[in-house]
Amino acid sequence: MHQIIEPTLLLNKSICKANIKGMAERVKSWKADFRPHFKTHQSAEVAEWFREEGIERITVSSFKMAFYFAQNGWKDITVALTATKINADVINVLASKINLNILVEDEYTIMELENLLQHPVGLFIKVDTGYHRTGVDADDLVKIKKLLNRLRDTKKLIFIGFLTHAGNTYHSDNSKEFIETVELGLEKILALKTFLMDQFPLMQLSWGDTPSCAVYNNFYGIDEFRPGNFVFYDNMQVHIGSCQMSDVAVCMAAPVLAVHPQRNEIVVHAGAVHLSKDRLELADGSSSYGTVVKMNGLNWDVEQILGQVKSLSQEHGIISVSEHLINTIKPGDVLGIIPVHSCLTANLMKQFLCTNGNFIEMLK
Amino acid sequence: MHQIIEPTLLLNKSICKANIKGMAERVKSWKADFRPHFKTHQSAEVAEWFREEGIERITVSSFKMAFYFAQNGWKDITVALTATKINADVINVLASKINLNILVEDEYTIMELENLLQHPVGLFIKVDTGYHRTGVDADDLVKIKKLLNRLRDTKKLIFIGFLTHAGNTYHSDNSKEFIETVELGLEKILALKTFLMDQFPLMQLSWGDTPSCAVYNNFYGIDEFRPGNFVFYDNMQVHIGSCQMSDVAVCMAAPVLAVHPQRNEIVVHAGAVHLSKDRLELADGSSSYGTVVKMNGLNWDVEQILGQVKSLSQEHGIISVSEHLINTIKPGDVLGIIPVHSCLTANLMKQFLCTNGNFIEMLK
């Protein structure tokens, strides 16, 4: 049995495979394509579990990630980060080897890339359906038509359709608001199909985000789905209502450094460089950087919640526990922490230890 | 000239070397030992710049980091993270090769380690002088004497003295409160010398944290200083008053992905996986994840502040800029971001690009 002597990100393969299978079946039931986002796991080995479900097309969030998965046999990749002229060289290398799709949202970049590219690439226009991060406002038909006019003449940039990431689902306060957010976003992107179908009958609509894909069911008209976080889920997704705590496939094994009964606190080796500083606001107004659970070997028990990580510094996490629990815990014991945001936690750890004792590597 | 095509952490060697020299001279003026913390840079190459200033003893925040620097020729290392019984094997390997100091704060760990260790190691008792993270309360003489009684009989654990990290200086709201925090912490740790000097005449007091070491001057009685962040400084330290913006030695080069004049926002490729989610609260109550400055090749200009990073997601940062600036910026341009917390940013990036065009590697 592997002994935990430093913060170690555990991965339960059975839960993870069930999450993949579950989402693949949901998307299949909508008669749409599944192009999962691989930014959460960033691992060639975890990627193979998707292949077992028949997945061949993927999404990544950087060209670096696209290279990594291309080297690991993935032949159809959408880089879901707005491209600009400075990406021309990497696009040329990638597009010579695989089917590559990129995202663009401005005329200037279309003109620049059309001049610089050597191979045809698929192009999605990134649209903003309410998240207000990137993308052309989906209501701004004047701007969208300008971009489409440019794309009529391009030989390297092949218009495929419109892509949105409905990241505003993460900000909903309740399920009514959540449904309204999803439906407003859907209405906006579906309107583009209605308005432009005559001119672009092959147009595809691509939709992202784990919360909506995990919960909502009436996706009529969307061609492709790109959720990513669902592969592991996390405490944030439990909080939003996308999953149960028992669906979370990763857990940080954190050695106890110190026990302070006078203030009912335990200090663990698991800090901002392991968990990330993403946090949840709890019902009582306090912050949680992770939910602490009991460990049993390399397995964690979500039925036995010990407390919350209430603050983090670089290497340390401070956990509040109840008075009757604190005397059962000693320095050198190992506790489990369900992370708030598994994407950021995995990205920091760069490696998983499976609950069967095998290590799984990620993109470094 | 190196072209920036992805988020890249720039390092200005001249500023960095001036920071090292400046702190080394401050500590020398106090007639104390300088044992800088290497957790901020985590780089064997940057470490050599300390060697040029005569530094031979260092501090790290994990056993993994201790191994890395030991492999790179550092022979005297304090691991400033509370040790427990589960670290016995790594301590045995390290202590067979270098002078190793560890931190302990409980009797149970002293007994366990004394049984498990094969070589003598230096031991600091970690004391809490007000930060309330780890350490025995420095006022708790009963507990401290219990630990010292245990350490009278140990053959492997050699008591050196008391160590504190005055991390509560980061929480001071103004300079008066800051000075009070430092002086209260000093009073607590100096009292230990007063009370215990008769029995332990060789006892050393070790003091950490960049803010106090950068600003305070009356450190009479402290034997050793362990600041770390000063090597680069950051926006947090500017905010606290430890340094000027021109003393910050690192800056994130961030490609512009999208420009949104309708809401005076620019979206850059630089997100939580590059900068970390550490943030500053600004005077107007808003959050900043970094201060945005103009770039000139690989150099940044702190005289030309363009705005603040107001929110971060995994790969994206959103910057608020003024109306007259937004039309001067295009997708594919590169902006500079002075990070809020350089320790976390460097830890995420794992590499620096020097402003002279050379890459510097870190512990992976």
Q: Tell me the two tokens of residue B106.
A: 């409980």
Cα A87–A277–B318 angle (5° rounding)? 40
- Chain A environment of B60 (Cβ under 8 Å): none
Q: Do A267 and B82 touch (CB under 8 A)?
A: yes
Average pLDDT over residues A295-320: 96
Within 13 Å and on the Cβ side, how many CA atoms surround B225? 31
| DSSP letters spanning B237-303 | HHHHTSS-GGG--EEEEEEEEEEEGGGTEEEEE--HHHH-S--EE-TTS-EESEEEEEEETTEEEEE
Average pLDDT over residues A36-62: 98
Helices (H), A139-271: 141-153, 175-196, 210-215, 235-240
Q: What is the pLDDT of residues B328-363, one digit of tens each?
A: 999 999 999 999 999 999 999 999 999 999 999 999
Average pLDDT over residues B270-287: 96
Q: Do B84 and A108 touch (CB under 8 A)?
A: no
Helices (H), A39-87: 44-51, 63-71
User: Quick one: how far is CA B144 from the chain centroid?
Assistant: 27
Mean pLDDT of chain B: 96
What distance in Å separates residue A23's CA from the closest CA in chain B? Answer: 22
Contact assessment for residue A233 and residue A19, using Cβ atoms and an 8 Å cutoff: yes
Q: How do A224-226 and A33-34 pair as beta strands?
A: parallel
User: Quick one: how far is CA A40 from the chain centroid?
Assistant: 5
Torsion of CA A129, A132, A138, A142, to 10 degrees: 170
pLDDT higher at B150 or B169: B150
pLDDT higher at B197 or A172: B197
- Chain B environment of A107 (Cβ under 8 Å): none
Q: What confidence tier does A173 reach under pLDDT thresholds 50, 70, 90?
A: confident
Q: Is the pLDDT of residue A172 over 90?
A: no
Residue A2 DSSP symbol: P
* Nearest residue on chain B to A345, alpha-carbon basis: B273
What distance in Å separates residue A129's CA from the closest CA in chain B? Answer: 15
Cα(B166)–Cα(A222) distance, rounded to whole angstroms? Answer: 55
Average pLDDT over residues B88-109: 98
pLDDT higher at B173 or A12: A12
Q: Do A133 and B85 touch (CB under 8 A)?
A: no
For residue A169, the model assigns a pLDDT of 81
Average pLDDT over residues A122-129: 97
Average pLDDT over residues B95-124: 98
Q: Do B276 and A278 touch (CB under 8 A)?
A: no
Average pLDDT over residues A114-135: 95
Domains of chain A: 13-232 (3.20.20.10), 245-361 (2.40.37.20)
- Chain B environment of A59 (Cβ under 8 Å): none
Q: What confidence tier does B252 reach under pLDDT thresholds 50, 70, 90?
A: very high
Q: Is the pLDDT of residue A215 over 70?
A: yes
Q: Do B82 and A332 touch (CB under 8 A)?
A: no
What distance in Å separates residue B90's CA from the closest CA in chain A? Answer: 9
Average pLDDT over residues B141-148: 96
Mean pLDDT of chain A: 96
Closest partner CB to B276 (pick from A112, A255, A272): A272
Sign of the Cα torsion B58, B63, B67, B68 reads negative
For residue B131, the model assigns a pLDDT of 87
What distance in Å separates residue B134's CA from the closest CA in chain A? Answer: 7
Contact assessment for residue B75 and residue B95, using Cβ atoms and an 8 Å cutoff: no
DSSP element (H, E) containing B338? strand B334-339
For residue A1, the model assigns a pLDDT of 64
pLDDT higher at B323 or A344: A344
Q: Do A62 and B112 touch (CB under 8 A)?
A: no
Closest partner CB to A315 (pick from B62, B108, B334): B62
In whole angstroms, how far apart are CA A285 and each of A144, A279, A282, A323?
Answer: 42, 12, 5, 21
Contact assessment for residue A206 and residue A124, using Cβ atoms and an 8 Å cutoff: yes
Closest partner CB to B82 (pick from A90, A112, A258): A258
Rounded to two decimals, the ipTM of the complex is 0.96
Q: Do B86 and A273 touch (CB under 8 A)?
A: no
Contact assessment for residue B130 and residue B184, using Cβ atoms and an 8 Å cutoff: yes
Cα(A46)–Cα(B175) distance, rounded to whole angstroms? Answer: 51
Q: Do B344 and A82 touch (CB under 8 A)?
A: no
Closest partner CB to B5 (pick from A81, A86, A330): A86
B32 Cβ contact list (under 8 Å, min separation 6): B219, B222, B223, B224, B225
**For helices A63-71 and A88-95, angle between their N-to-C axes, nearest 10 degrees:** 20
Q: What is the pLDDT of residues B26-65, one digit of tens each?
A: 999 999 999 999 999 999 999 999 999 999 999 999 999 9
| Amino acid (one-letter) located at B140 | D
Which residues, listed in sequence order, are joined to residue A321 by a DSSP beta bridge? A307
Q: What confidence tier does A236 reach under pLDDT thresholds 50, 70, 90?
A: very high
Q: What confidence tier does B213 reach under pLDDT thresholds 50, 70, 90?
A: very high
Average pLDDT over residues A104-123: 98
Q: Do A85 and B39 touch (CB under 8 A)?
A: no
Q: What is the pLDDT of residues A242-299, one digit of tens each?
A: 999 999 999 999 999 999 999 999 999 999 999 999 999 999 999 999 999 999 999 9
For residue B1, the model assigns a pLDDT of 64
* Nearest residue on chain A to B317, alpha-carbon basis: A133
What distance in Å separates residue B348's CA from the closest CA in chain A? Answer: 7
- Interface mutation vs chain B, best among A3, A107, A273, A281, most B CBs within 10 Å: A273
Helices (H), chain B: 13-29, 44-51, 63-71, 88-95, 107-116, 141-153, 175-196, 210-215, 235-240, 272-275, 323-326, 342-349
Which residues, listed in sequence order, are joined to residue B265 by a DSSP beta bridge? B260, B320
Q: Do A316 and B269 touch (CB under 8 A)?
A: no
Q: What is the pLDDT of residues A54-89, one digit of tens each?
A: 999 999 999 999 999 999 999 999 999 999 999 999
Strands in chain A per DSSP E: 8-11, 33-34, 58-60, 76-82, 99-104, 121-128, 136-137, 157-164, 204-208, 224-226, 250-260, 265-269, 280-281, 287-288, 291-296, 299-312, 316-321, 334-338, 351-354, 359-361
Contact assessment for residue A293 and residue A301, using Cβ atoms and an 8 Å cutoff: yes
Cα(A126)–Cα(B260) distance, rounded to whole angstroms? Answer: 13
Cα(B240)–Cα(B178) distance, rounded to whole angstroms? Answer: 9
Helices (H), A220-311: 235-240, 272-275
Phi/psi of residue B12, nearest 5 degrees: -95, 110
Size of interface A-B (CB pairs under 8 A): 137
**Residue with structure tokens 């179908």?**
A197
Q: Is the pLDDT of residue A171 over 90?
A: no
Nearest to B167 by CA among B136, B215, B140, B129: B129
Q: Do A332 and B134 touch (CB under 8 A)?
A: no
Q: Is the pLDDT of residue B226 over 80?
A: yes
Residue B118 DSSP symbol: S
B327 Cβ contact list (under 8 Å, min separation 6): B261
Percent over 70 (pLDDT), chain B: 100
Q: Do A267 and B87 touch (CB under 8 A)?
A: no
Q: Do B86 and A3 touch (CB under 8 A)?
A: yes
* Nearest residue on chain A to B314, alpha-carbon basis: A344
Percent over 70 (pLDDT), chain A: 100
Cα(B359)–Cα(B351) distance, rounded to whole angstroms? Answer: 7
